[in-house]
Structure 1
């Protein structure tokens, strides 16, 4: 079972509540730019692109043997930070935090939040 943070949409906007799982995101760790685009985290995408560009330019100084593990470390960090980034983005867009639910899946957490 997983803990989900439940967010309600802006008032007057017909949508289901969002359920953000509080766990490591393999999607964010394996495909960071795709994860950021899918969830509309545009500023974070720009930061990620700048960090990767800086890592590419620093490769001549630090060496290729250090650049790849640093990229992997950043991707793993993003996997752990993904729930917080999504929660922050929803709050910034006007969604309100309703509370937490423990459920087997995000769909079940949404159903419990609707009741």
Structure 2
């Protein structure tokens, strides 16, 4: 299962009532991006990530220059390493790029693929609109105990054993 961030533009209306507004949502998976690994520059251009593209080219040129100076198979491995690091962070950088363009994160959905993520997200929105499900609430605060000493029943715990000083 993959987690998908649901992103929408700042001027988004109600995506449940309007299919046009629903089409404006973007579901970004939190996983390794094979497209960014294999076709790094084209992937960045396709997603209009201009600042990230500039940074990628700068880092690639610097790393390739250092690798060429080292010689041998270093240029090959350097290019591979930069592309691999981009692919690891590609979807996070895509989210960051959208946030810089005043998009906001609307939710997080766990699903097997993007189609299932869309179905789950819109089903939840529809249920909230119909009043069948309460909107998300922050979790209840954790109740704090006055003592920070761990206990098993009435005995204090010292490491992995019960403390010999339990009776004191």
TM-score for both structures, normalised by structure 1: 0.86
**Structure 1 runs (4+) greater than 3 angstroms displaced:** 12-15, 55-60
Output one character per residue of 1:65-84: Cα deviation in whole Å (capped at 9) or x when no partner: 21110110111111100111
Aligned counterpart in structure 1 of residue 45 of structure 2, from 9, 18, 37: 37
Higher helix share: 1
Task: Verify the 8 A CA contact 1:16 1:110 in the aligned structure 2.
Answer: no
Output one character per residue of 1:80-111: Cα deviation in whole Å (capped at 9) or x when no partner: 00111011011111111112101122132223
Could you tell me how far apart the structure 1 residues matched to 2:95 and 2:75 are? 30
Task: Verify the 8 A CA contact 1:29 1:76 in the aligned structure 2.
Answer: yes
Give the unaligned 5+ runs of structure 1: none
Say which is worse superposed, 59-68 or 89-98, in terms of deviation: 59-68
Q: Which has the higher contact order (CA 8 A, sep 6+)?
A: 1
Give the unaligned 5+ runs of structure 2: 14-20, 126-168
Matches within 5 A, 1:1-115: 1-12=1-12, 14=21, 15-114=23-122, 115=125
Could you tell me how far apart the structure 2 residues matched to 1:89 and 1:4 are? 16
Paired residue total = 115
Say which is worse superposed, 25-34 or 97-106, in terms of deviation: 97-106
- Decide which structure has the larger Cα Rg and report it: 2
TM-score for both structures, normalised by structure 2: 0.61
Could you tell me how far apart the structure 2 residues matched to 1:105 and 1:78 are? 22
Question: How far is the alpha carbon of 1:60 from its aligned partner?
Answer: 4.2
Could you tell me how far apart the structure 2 residues matched to 1:60 and 1:26 are? 26
